[in-house]
Amino acid sequence: MNNNNIMKNPLIKQCLDILKREDVKQEIKTLFTPIIDIILHEIYPYLYLIILLVALIFILILAILIILVFLLRNKNVFYTGL
């Protein structure tokens, strides 16, 4: 079904017109706010864990970069044994 066929259906068009009204939008927001709050409350620990892991990965990558820069600047230390 393409977009033109959907818009030709009068029932769907009426539903879309109703959903575009501001009072209906406000009622939908009021209805879904508690549901969204519950979902967010349930996933907060996982969000904190993800943020912690991303920060830890960033610190590890930064430490690896610093170590590589230090080793490349002092690479002649490793070649003195040859």
Q: How far apart are CA 20 and CA 70, in angstroms?
A: 61
| Domain presence at residue 9 | no
Q: How many domains does the chain have?
A: 1
Q: Is residue 62 part of a domain?
A: yes
pLDDT(17) > 60: yes
Residue 74 has pLDDT above 90, yes or no: no
Where is 2: in which H helix or E strand? none
Q: Does this model's pTM top 0.85?
A: no
Q: Is residue 52 one of the residues assigned to a domain?
A: yes
What SS3 class is residue 63? helix
- pLDDT of 11 above 90: no
With beta carbons less than 8 A apart as the criterion, state whether 55 and 63 touch.
no
Which structural domain, as residue segments, surrounds residue 68? 22-79
Reply yes or no on whether the pLDDT at 79 is more than 80.
Answer: no
Are 13 and 7 in contact by the 8 Å Cβ rule? The answer is: yes
